[in-house]
Structure 1
Amino acid sequence: MYDSFKNEYQLCEEIGRGRFGIVYRCFSPSSLASFAVKSIDKRHLLDDDLDRQCLDKEPKILQILSPHPNILQIHNIFDSDSRLLIVTDLCKESTLYDRIVSSGPFTEPDACSIFTQLAEALHHCHRNYICHRDIKPDNILFDTRNRVKLCDFGSAEFFGCGGEREKMSGVVGTPYYVAPEVLAGREYNEKVDVWSAGVILYIMLGGVPPFYGDSVEDTFAAVLRGNLRFPTKIFRSVSPEAKDLMRKMLCKDVSRRFSAEQVLRHPWVTSGGLSNTMSDMS
């Protein structure tokens, strides 16, 4: 396997470590382009069925979704009994989470630029009957051209094919970002991703999550209540259009919650975060 890899790429420096392995930069002499390669020792996963399932599922899902400018693309896979090498887009080390922590609240145009790319990625996933199920700032990378790259599809699930949509189940996600219907143990659809993206937008504009508590249990209770507020001290300068979009994404009634396609048609998104056409609904 390594011989096949070395025929196409030159292995360079280590650039990160994740749950499943070590990430290196690699270089392709034929294309003169740099990529990332994740090296996974499969022997470490022998006793963990869930990890093995995630490892098997993620490359398949990414291959279905590729190419898309805002989804991490797999360029090559080298597989053996003991090791798996996955060659992907090369991204910067900092995630959206890192940018939020270092920069604080974003301006609306800056937030809209990132958010629109995330919404485009989700729309592409949902059109292909794939629900990510763990949308959070940590899973939003930026490539060397500063484009958003949605990653980590280990929790993703297929929810249908050929026009037939199926409900999903199972508590999957991350505190702050998980949708209330997931926590409630109900069946759910792909709009759980829209809820999570709405939380990210709220954090980008306000600097704090919309639902939180002093413990994980308190945070989950706040999510289940779903009492969305825009404290004046924090959101005084945030536009009515942005608040309107967040209300329609962070809606407990799933039938009324926006789809990813509807998000992309909202005036705040289509104006690039500069629209002032709507009346103040705050």
Structure 2
Amino acid sequence: MTELLKQDYVVFSELGRGRFGVVSRCVAVDSGESFAVKSIDKRVISAGDSLDTQCLLSEPKILHLLSRHPHITAIHGVYEDETHLHMVIDLCSSSDLHTRIISRVIPEPEAASLMRQLMQAVAHCHRLGVAHRDIKPDNILFDQENQLKLADFGSAEMIKEDELMSGLVGTPYYVAPEVLAGGEYNEKVDVWSSGVVLYVMLAGFPPFYGDSAVEIFQAVLRGNLRFPSRAFHGVSSAAKDLLRRMLSRDVSRRFSAEQVLRHPWFTIASESMATG
């Protein structure tokens, strides 16, 4: 670990481990404030896919560009040595969304509050020309004040206006069909993934599934969106309408992040929370 990082932070226990490195808790020497440090092993990514290398090494730049949004993990420092890239980021010590949704279905007003925070983060990314490309419950964290934070921009890409991306990036249940189709795509892949997150919060299971990655991909490509009555009998028609618009296979008809935020469901759900 780089000496400069050790001068500024005391690194403690490991919080999690991914394909390219580990995330640990650390404390700033000067303030005593707690953060997380994401340490990426450059040897692993340089030996792998060039897309992985490009995305992971651009992550600090992207986080700096997006920084100080209330619903995106902020970056506080970058340190590099011969073998690792270390990023000091917000510590989100509460459970992630994945942990929350495996234990219970999220009530609709609560789901609306979480989705509003997520889409505010996504809209901010898109306004600044960043596509996240791997939105899923595991990458949706919560800080000590229970504020949602979109995290892990290791698959993100910066795009110019009207520019398209390519490359198979994402997670089986949450990846958009146009990504799987192998062609070019735009930032609306994030809206699709967010729509899957909303569906899972409300139903407790994903809209497109199978017993293997191949079967899941086939179901996503078919995009046959259903609302089984056993799971959706208490869900409002406004929520289902929004899901149809987010999970539209026709990208030209799929809502943008800004359009999602303007959907009346958010007002209806918040009024329901106020009167419930």
TM-score over 0.5 for the pair: yes
1:54-203 equivalence runs, <5 A:
54-92=55-93, 94-103=95-104, 105-160=105-160, 164-203=161-200
Describe how 1:174-253 pairs up with structure 2 within 5 A. Answer: 174-253=171-250
The CA distance in 2 between the partners of 1:227 and 1:79, in whole Å, is 46
Point out where structure 2 has 5 or more consecutive residues left out of the alignment. none
Return 261-270 or 17-26, whichever deviates more. Answer: 17-26
C-alpha change, 1:119 and 1:4, in structure 2 (3 Å) is same
- Displacement of 1:272 in angstroms is 4.4
Pair 1:11-2:11 in alignment = yes
Q: SS of the counterpart of 1:55?
A: helix
Distance in 1 separating the partners of 2:4 and 2:182: 46
State the distance in 2 between where 1:273 and 1:247 align. 20
1:229 is displaced (CA, Å) by 1.2
Question: Against the structure 1 CA distance between its residues 42 and 180, is the aligned structure 2 distance closer, same or farther, given a 3 Å change threshold?
Answer: closer
Q: Deviations over 1:155-181 (max 9, x none)?
A: 111220xxx321112222111211111
With normalisation by structure 2, the TM-score equals 0.91
- Per-residue deviation, 1:32: 3.5
- The answer for the alignment partner of 1:280 in structure 2 is none
- Distance (whole Å) between structure 1 residues aligned to residue 220 and residue 232 of structure 2: 20
Counterpart CA distance in 2 for 1:56 and 1:198 is 28
Instruction: Tell me the distance in 1 between the aligned counterparts of 2:130 and 2:146.
Output: 25
Alignment partners' CA distance in 1, 2:82 and 2:155: 23
The sequence identity of aligned pairs, in percent, is 61
Q: Distance in 1 between matches of 2:266 and 2:57?
A: 35
Post-superposition CA distance 1:111-170 (Å, at most 9, x none): 11211111011001100111111111111111122111111212111220xxx3211122
Q: Quote how far apart the aligned CAs of 1:44 are.
A: 4.0
Taking the aligned partners of 2:132 and 2:44, their CA distance within structure 1 comes to 25
* Deviation of the 1:230 alpha carbon: 0.8
Give the stretch that moved more between structures: 93-102 or 35-44. 35-44
When residues 217 and 17 of structure 1 are mapped into structure 2, their CA distance, relative to the original with a 3 A threshold, is closer
- Partners in 1 of 2:108 and 2:99 — Cα distance? 18
Name the CA shift for 1:8/1:183 in 2 (closer, same or farther; >3 Å). Answer: same
